[in-house]
Chain A
C-alpha cells in the first residue's frame, strides 16, 4: 500500500493545531465583547481536531485525545440547559442571565457573566456535533 511521507504536514500540524486551539478558546471567551462566541469557537476547535486527524490518522488521534465525542454533545446540551434551569434557584424566569465584576488576585478586575456558561454549552455541543459527523462519515467504509 502506498504510504505517503507527510513529514512537513505533521510538523506544521503539531504547531498549528495548538494555535488553532488557542484561538478557539480565545473566540469562546472573547465572544461577549468582540466577534466570536461559542459557535465559532466550537467550529474552530473541531477544525484543529480534524487537522490532527488528517495528519496523523485515527489511531494516533485516539491515543492522543482519548475522548468520546458523542458524549460531548449531551454534555454541552446539559450545561446549556443547566444554566437555564439555574435561574429558577434565584426565582427568575428560565434562561435569565446576569453579570457582575469581580476582583481576582492576579488577573485584576474581571467581568463574569452567566451567559458565558451558556456559551460554554454551545461550544461543547457544536464541537461534539461537528467531530461526530465528520468522523463517522470519514470512517465509513
Chain B
C-alpha cells in the first residue's frame, strides 16, 4: 500500500527528464497511467466482504512515528476519489494545457499533491498524517501560483497558504495533545481509547485545534475566503484540488475523528453550526458572482458546509448521507469545473455576463453542464445522484434527536429551515450557471474568440463524470452496500445499512422540502434580475476578505513600526537598552533571590594614602565627563590609569603595577596618535531628556555593580584556592613569582590565547591601515 503513496512522488522525480520531449508527446500522457494504476489497485477492494487492511513501515520508531497505513471504508472512498478523479483530471489537462506551458512543473506539483493526498487518507499515524497534510498545502500553493506572472495568482496562492498552514499548525497542536493524552500516535488506538480522551481536561482544546485545521482546509465560514481566490489556478487544478480532493481533507479529518469526539455535545454544536452557516453563506454568495469559476468556488464552499453539517449531526442516517454526498459532489463538481474550463478555453472568457446561447454552438458541453447543475441543485429526477444525497440530508436534518442543552435543542429546531434556505440559493445559482451560459441571447461580438465545440478529448473526462452521476442516479444500490456503507461504518463505528430510494411518497417530509426548494428556487430564478440589487448590496463591506486584507496589512505596518521603534541605528540607543535590560534582569533576580547582602565585618582598615589615591581617581573620572577637549580627556583618563597602577603598588601587586604602567603609557600614546587626526569634540547640545535618561541609566548601572561587588564580598560561601598556588608555586612550578608561575605554568593556556588575541589585534590594525580602499576619496 505504501507504493500507492510513493509512486507518484517517484514518478515526479522523472517528470523533468520526460518533459524535455514535450514538443513531441504531451507530458501528461506519461503521467496519466500513474493515477489510473492506483485507481485500479484500489478498485479491487470494493465488495461486500471488505475488511480493514493494515500495513506498517518503520520511519522513526523511537518517536512512534511510522508509516502506518490503514485502509478502511472511509480511506477507500477517498483513495478512489483521489486516484479516479486524478486520472480524469490528467486526461483533461492533456487537452487543456498547451505544450508551450511549463508542463514539467505542472505535473510534478500535481503528482506531489496526489501523493500527499493519498498519504493523508491512508495514514493511521497522526504525525505522518500531518506531514502529508502540509505537503498538500505546499503543492496546492505551487499549483495556484502556477501562472506566477499574474498578480492575482500570487495573491491567491499566498492567501491559501497563510490560511491552510495556520489551520495545519493548529491541527498539529491538537494531534500533540491527543497523543500526549492517550500515549499513542495511532488514530485507531485513539478511537479505541476515546473514553480516556473524553475524561481528559485537555479534550476541548484538542477538539478546537483539530476543528480549526479541518475548517481552514475545507473552507468553512469564515475561513472560506481563500477558495474563491484559488480559482486563479489552471482549471484542472481547480477541478481536482478545489472541488474534489483537497478541500475534502478537512471533511476526512472530521469524519476520521468523529468516533473520538462524537459523545461530546459541543462537537455537534460547533460542527453543525459551522456547516449550516457555510452552506447558507456560500450558496448566497454564489448567486452574486459573475465569474463561472467563482460561482463554482462558492458552490463548493456551500456543498462542503452541507457535508460538514451532516458530519456534525452524527446520526447514522446523516453520516451515510455525508459519505454519499462526498462521492456525488466529487462527480458533479468535477465535471462542472471541467465544463467551465472548456467554456473558458473555447470562448476566451469566464464572465457569465458576456456568455449566453452557447447551447447550439457547444451542444455536448451544454448537455454535460445540464446534468451536472441539475444534480447539484438536487432536482427530483430519478437519474441524478445529487437529489438522493440532498434528500437524505433533509431527512437526516429532521430526524435529529433533541439535545440536552437549550442551545442544541434550538439548533435541532432551526437546522431544517436553514438547510432549505441554503438549498434554495443552491438551486438559484445552479440554474443561473447553466442557463446564463448556454441559453438565452447570444452575444458573440463580446467574446474574444469565436466559440465552437471543444475537442473530443476535452469532453471525455467530464463525460465520464456525468456518466457517473447518471449511473449512481439510476442504480444507487450498485455502490451502496459494497462501498458507501463501509465508509459510513468506519465513521459511525457500527453497522450502517441504508436503502436509497427515489420515491418516498408525497407525504415524506424530505420530499416536501425538496419540492419547496424547487418551487421557491424556480420563482427566485425567474425573477432573478429584480433581486440582483439586493444580492449586490447586502454583504458589501461585511466580507471576510476585508478582514483578511486588513489583518495582513496591519500585521505588516505594526511589525515594521515595532521594529523601527527600537532598531533606530543609533548605537547610543542600543547601549541604553542593553544596559537597562541588564539592570532590570539582574536587580530583579538579586532582589527575588535575596542576593544583596551587606556585611562589613572583615574589612581592612583604610589608610590615608589609599584614600588620597582613590580621591584622585574619582576626580579624574568625574573630570572626563565634563571636559570638552579631547586631548584633555585622554590625559585625564591616563591619570585614572596611573592612579590604578598606584593602587596596585599599594595592594602589593608589583607585576600588575608594572604592566598597568606600561600599558597605560602605550594606550595614552595611541590615543594621542589617533586623536591627532580627529576634529575637536563638539559641544554636545542634547535635549535635557536624553541627558537625564543617560544619567539615570549610568547611575543605576553603576549602583548595581557596586552593590553586587559589596554583596560578593559580604558573602563567603567557599574558601579560596589561592592557598594552593602559594604552597605549590615553588615546589611544582619552580618559581617564587606566584603570579608569573600561574600565568605561564598553572594556567598557561589562558596566556597562550591572550597573546593570540594580541597578535590578531595587531594584524587587524595593520590591515585596516595599510589595505584600506581609497575609492571613497576619489
Contact = CB atoms under 8 A, between A and B. Distances in A.
Q: Do A and B bind each other?
A: yes
Nearest to B677: A140
A115 B734 contact: yes
Contacts of B756: 77
Contacts of B745: 97, 113, 115, 118
A118 B363 CA distance: 98
Nearest to A80: B752
A48 to B, nearest CB: 12
A55 interface: no
A121 B751 CA distance: 10
Interface string A103-135: 000000001010100110110011011101110
A132 B663 CA distance: 15
Given A95-B749, A99-B733, A115-B733, A133 B741 contact: no
A40 interface: yes
A35 B654 contact: yes
Interface stretch (A1-9, A10-18, A26-34): A26-34
A125 B763 CA distance: 12
A44 to B, nearest CB: 7
Interface string B731-744: 00111110111011
Given A40-B659, A43-B663, A126 B736 contact: no
Interface residues of B, number: 38
Contacts of A46: 666
Given A37-B740, A134-B666, A129 B759 contact: yes
B674 A73 contact: no
Contacts of A130: 666
A31 B758 CA distance: 20
Contacts of A27: 658
A27 B659 CA distance: 11
B736 A34 contact: yes
A73 B662 CA distance: 19
A18 B737 CA distance: 26
A133 B670 contact: yes
Interface residues of A, number: 48
Given A115-B744, A118-B748, A77 B763 contact: no
A125 B759 contact: yes
Interface in B40-95: none
Contacts of A50: 669
Given A32-B736, A111-B734, A115-B741, A97 B748 contact: yes
Contacts of A80: 751-752, 755
A44 B759 contact: no
Nearest to A30: B737
Nearest to A125: B755
A65 interface: no
Nearest to A97: B745
B581 interface: no
B contacts with A: majority SS: helix
B638 to A, nearest CB: 16
Interface in B645-678: 654-655, 658-659, 662-663, 665-666, 669-670, 673-674
Given A33-B736, A40-B655, A113-B735, A140 B769 contact: yes
A27 B654 CA distance: 12
B655 A36 contact: yes
B663 to A, nearest CB: 7
Contacts of B761: 129, 133
Q: Which of B665, B666, B755, B763 has the most CB of A within 10 A?
A: B755
Contacts of A77: 755-756, 759
Contacts of B689: none
Nearest to B655: A35
A58 interface: no
Nearest to B654: A35
Nearest to B674: A137
A47 interface: yes
A28 B276 CA distance: 91
B751 to A, nearest CB: 6
B668 to A, nearest CB: 12
A43 B673 contact: no
Given A118-B744, A138-B673, A70 B734 contact: no
A70 B744 CA distance: 23
A99 B734 contact: yes
A133 B662 contact: no
A115 B670 CA distance: 31
Contacts of A137: 670, 673-674, 765, 769
B759 A40 contact: no
Interface of A: 27, 31-40, 43-44, 46-47, 50, 70, 73-74, 76-77, 80-81, 84, 94-95, 97-99, 111, 113, 115, 118-119, 121-122, 125-126, 128-130, 132-134, 136-138, 140
